[in-house]
Structure 1
Amino acid sequence: MDNLPRIALLGTFVGRGRERQVGEICAAQGAFYTLAAPATGTAASEVLQVLGIGETSRTLTLSLVPAPLIPRLRQELRDRLFMTQPGQGILFTVPLSGINARSARWLSQGMDGKPVEILALTNRGCSDEVLAAARLAGATGGTLLHTRMLGGQEADRFLGIQLQKEKELVAILAKGEYKVPIMQTIADKAGLQTPAETVVLSLPVDSMEGLR
């Protein structure tokens, strides 16, 4: 597998306009790339304060990071963005259970059999192609986010391609037995070797309800 490192997903919810600083910090600390998508909070103001979000207009950032770098990066974000203070945002990390990289070779980190959240990062205008491929393998649907790259100098080395700045992120919740078929079908029909240049990764889910 070309000695690919263990990978984790680091996410933040920060006030609108602070995402560029998140991207700069993540890039400086060795993140492969960082994506940003606008988000709007719906919770009451007192709940937002408890959660550490001082405003409803905010940005979701997602960074792919070598797992050994996570502790240092979390500390850097906490210190420079004052995340230990109320209202300055939320930071979270999630291990990956799989990803396609470098000519669609697979990095799998166990956790098979459990429900998964499959994230497909594709070029603008290619989300329908991704969803069509996923449905062929048993997916029932997905959620679409429009994102932009905040930093991706390391993506060329990691993925073997040069990612476009504007991307679409398709999120698909699936039962564990559908994880590999869905990811493989997306990679085959809309993967890194196609015009869609889709990066597919999966996150473990502890439990889920309502999915047939």
Structure 2
Amino acid sequence: MKKLALAVIPDRYTDLFTETVGKTVCGKQILFSGRGTASSALLRHLGIGSTRKTVIGFLSCEEAIEAVCRMCEREARQHKDCGGILCTVSAENTMAKKSAHTLMCIIVNSGYGETVMEAARKAGAPGGTIIDARGTGTEQDMDFFGIRISPEKEVILIASETSAASDISDAVKKLPCFDAPGSGMICTLPADSFFHLGTAPVQE
């Protein structure tokens, strides 16, 4: 049975990663540009904490996952920054599953991604990836000189231990940026499997 897989890797290794996945998966991949979040207050202060990331989604099988992990381990021996995370989510009966890890997807208005990550990290999140996005045609659309503009959004992906997911979610929900109706949403899914890509655990 195939599962939905999401991988977060350094931007420079996108081609290598997609080529490896393409050799073992029959199907398409979808790529998003994102940025990692700094775990150091000093790096954030200096403005150098964020790193460019690629988020890759694809339908996976065990063979593909094992091949990707082997590739990242091999590359990490030569390039210490070839690391990231990969988790899979099953589309079947996810509510009944118990998993050691949880994938959190948080959607918020643009500009609040770092605020969300700061609250999430204080509640136990190991890190996260922010993706720029936009809303679709809803009543929240704005008129600007007669042109309909969809609100800009940010999507925050956090893979955490399930034991910490509830605390992270509660901390994020209390943020003022969620006070207004329709200002964002939080979705959590149990991860069937979770891997650190590379030779050592790397913050995403």
TM-score of the two chains, using structure 2 as the length reference: 0.46
Structure number with the bigger relative contact order (C-alpha 8 A, sep ≥ 6) is 2
